[in-house]
Amino acid sequence: MDQNLIDNTSRDKPKVGQHSPLSAGGWATASLVISYGIGALLYLPLARLLSPADFGLYTEATIFYSGITLAVELSLMRALVRAPGKLEELAQATAWLSLIVGLIGAILCGLLGPLVAIGYNDSRLILILLLLAPGVLGAALGSVPLALLSRDLNFRRRLLPETISVVVAAAIAIGAAFGKAGVYSLVIYQVTRVILNSTIAWKVVHWRPLRKPPDWTILRRLLSFGLPLGGGEVALYARFNVDYAIGGLRLGADTLGVYTLAWNTSDRAAILINSFFGNVGYATFARLQQEDPALLRRIYFSVTRLTASIALPIFLGAVLVREELVAGLFGSRWQGMVAPLLPLFLLQALWAIFYPSVSLVLALGHSRIYAIINTSSLLLAIVAVLVGTANGVVGLAWAMFAVAGSTSLVWGWLAIRSLRPNLQELWYTAKMPLLLIAATLPAIEAVHWLGGTSGMTALIRLGADLSAAGIAFGVVAWRCWPSILQDFNQLRHKLPKEQPTEVGL
């Protein structure tokens, strides 16, 4: 079988080759970095051409658009990535579902316009959500080729649609902004990016669905996994926005601005860490749970150990230097960020460490558990935020830590319960991260204390703290290098070739 997903001599059968989680993770991270970089550059000219009100109006609309898109796109992709069986039949069924679900999502997005306009008292939201509706359909239609590439761990080829779409859409949006399109330039960017991403993904994959109805048995089985997953995605999305919604109402725009910047400061590293093994981890576990459970087990513990070894020193170290971080990078007027950064950094550490556990539980087929946990955490988050905001922005941050942090621990517990490791495996997983924080945190504290008494500026003290942490981290990592190399070797394993004649879901 050809190593590539696509055999150019056949446009009817999607094929899966061999790629390693390590190379896939590298390409996934590269895609994120490039997309984020282009996105950041996009907002520089747009910030000069558009008003804050334009960005605010766009944000109000995309709260609902993004929720619908996530539920539609991710449920379809993850169902196809996970499902065992004949790949051609699975792709055919998912293609039909993508059209149906995409149309339903697009219609829902358009119909929400009047209700959202009433809620925000701005009639412009009706047209904005109507214009965003094709983006929902476009995202759904792109789920099949992107899922096929993910299933193959071929994230190198996913890089092409994900980056080209951002570049072209950004150029068109900037041109529209120069043409006085206002908030609609942001709408143009979003819809253009999604449609281009899906179109190029189809060009990359080449496979086309046949003009015949799908197997209804396969459709039902895909829906039995995808529907709870979609509900769980909506609940998760709502949970990660309930702090903004309630916090903004109870604390006001100024305080919410402090919290928003604190959150964005805390989650950048977590997003980068999780990009390496986020979608890659789910696709890897989904394949291995069918074909090589022993390798799945080894990869899970290796990834968790490597993730914890990076996340714990970064986020616990950030807790120690958060005063210098705020003063040096943002200035004294943002001093209110210092206190909420403590729980937010701890929250992001737990999220990063146990993110592979979420992928594992989903890959094992527990989409209903996923929906139940995310719905429960949403309800708890609403209560916690209502209570926490009584203590201002710090209370809001601790409320989110209590809910999101405990939810991350639940995912870790479920993963351990599924794999049932012995104490030796657990200690092996925890040993290196503990050694790294035992070295880096005292180094930061020592330099931190010396810098505080020397009269250096906050930025210089921050640089000294980070240098000390980097040296301590490097020394311990060098001593642990054989273990680190062993973990990376686990991730170099290429997945078994998928049998195109495999039957049964």
Is 496 contained in some domain? Answer: no
Band (25; pLDDT cuts 50, 70, 90)? confident
**169 and 314 fall within a common domain:** no
Identify which of 218-222, 319-323, 461-465 has the greatest average pLDDT. Answer: 319-323
Written as six digits, the tokens of 355 are 């993110």
Whole-number pLDDT of residue 10: 40
- Residue 282 near residue 78, CB atoms below 8 Å: yes
The verdict on residue 471 lying in a domain is yes
Q: Quote the DSSP letter at residue 120.
A: H
CA torsion through residues 219, 221, 224, 230, sign: negative
Contacts of 34 (CB under 8 A, 6+ apart): 159, 162, 163, 166
**If you average pLDDT over residues 339-367, what whole number do you get?**
94
- Residue pLDDT, tens place only, 359-386: 999 999 899 999 999 999 999 999 999 9
> Would you say residue 358 has pLDDT above 90?
yes
Can you tell me which residue has the tokens 């040296």?
471
155, 149 in Cβ contact below 8 A? yes
Neighbours of 460 (CB within 10 A): 14
Is 456 within 8 Å of 420 (Cβ atoms)? no
**pTM (predicted TM-score):** 0.82
Burial of 357 (0-12, 13-18, 19+ CB in 10 A): buried
Cα separations in angstroms, 234 against 68, 77, 220, 372, 495: 7, 15, 21, 12, 31
Task: Tell me the residue length of the chain.
Answer: 505
249 assigned to some structural domain? no
Instruction: Examine the fold and report which residue of 180, 195, 214 is the final residue of a domain before the chain moves on.
Output: 214
Which of the listed ranges 66-70, 339-343, 421-425 does the model predict with the highest average pLDDT?
A: 339-343
Q: Can you give the pLDDT at residue 16?
A: 44
8 pLDDT more than 50: no
187 shares its domain with 271: no
Sign of torsion over alpha carbons 496, 498, 503, 505? positive
Average the pLDDT over 299-315 and give the result: 94
Burial of 503 (0-12, 13-18, 19+ CB in 10 A): exposed
Measure CA 195 to chain center: 20
- Give burial (CB, 10 Å; 0-12/13-18/19+) of 167: middle
Mean pLDDT for the stretch of residues 304-329 = 92
Alpha-carbon dihedral angle through residues 349, 352, 353, 356, given to the nearest 10 degrees: 170
Place 9 in a pLDDT band, splitting at 50, 70 and 90. Answer: very low
Whether residue 7 lies inside any domain: the answer is no
Q: Write the pLDDT tens digit of every residue in 37-81.
A: 777 677 678 777 887 778 778 878 888 898 899 888 888 888 888
Q: For 144-218, list the strands marked E by DSSP.
A: none
In the chain, pLDDT over 70 holds for what percent of residues?
93
Question: Are 132 and 276 found together in one domain?
Answer: no
| pLDDT at residue 501 in the model | 37
In this prediction, residue 441 has a pLDDT band, given cuts at 50, 70 and 90, of very high
Average pLDDT, the chain: 86
Is the same domain home to 175 and 286?
no
Containing domain of residue 303, as a range? 260-491
Last residue of a domain, one of 214, 240, 274: 214
Are 147 and 76 part of one and the same domain?
Answer: yes
Residue 170 lies in a domain: yes
At 159-212, the pLDDT tens digits run 889 889 988 998 999 999 999 888 899 999 999 999 999 999 999 997 888 878
Q: In angstroms, what CA-CA distances link 98 with 2, 106, 141, 155, 396?
A: 27, 12, 5, 21, 38
pLDDT for 336 beyond 70:
yes
CA separation for the pair 165, 436 (Å, rounded): 40
Question: Is 326 inside any structural domain?
Answer: yes
Residues 170, 292, single domain; the answer is: no
pLDDT of residue 12: 43
The whole-number average pLDDT for the span 83-112 is 91
pLDDT at position 505 is 32
Mean pLDDT of all residues in 340-367? 94
Residue 278, helix vs strand vs coil: coil
Pick from 16-20, 39-43, 51-55, 258-262: least confident: 16-20
Q: How many domains does the chain have?
A: 2
- Spatial separation of the C-alpha atoms in residues 339 and 358, rounded to whole Å: 29
The last residue of one of the domains, among 159, 186, 214, is 214
Residue 490 structure tokens: 């686990």
d(CA 159, CA 489): 24
User: Is 10 contained in some domain?
Assistant: no
**287 and 206 in one domain?**
no
**pLDDT tens-digit map of 124-173:** 899 999 999 999 999 999 999 999 998 888 888 888 898 899 889 989 99
55/173 same-domain check = yes
187 and 276 belong to one structural domain: no
Q: What is the pLDDT of residue 1?
A: 31
When comparing pLDDT for 312 and 253, which is higher?
312
What pLDDT shows up at residue 453? Answer: 57
SS (H, E, C) 166-213: HHHHHHHHHHHHHCCCCHHHHHHHHHHHHHHHHHHHHHHHCCCCCCCC
Whether 197 and 102 map to the same domain: the answer is: yes
How many whole angstroms separate alpha carbon 22 and alpha carbon 287?
15
Q: What pLDDT is recorded for position 253?
A: 65
Residues 6+ apart with CB under 8 A from 448: 320, 321, 324, 461, 465
| Residue 51 sits in the same domain as residue 135 | yes
Distance between CA atoms of 15 and 17, rounded to whole angstroms? 7
Residue 13 domain flag: no
Same domain, 106 and 170: yes
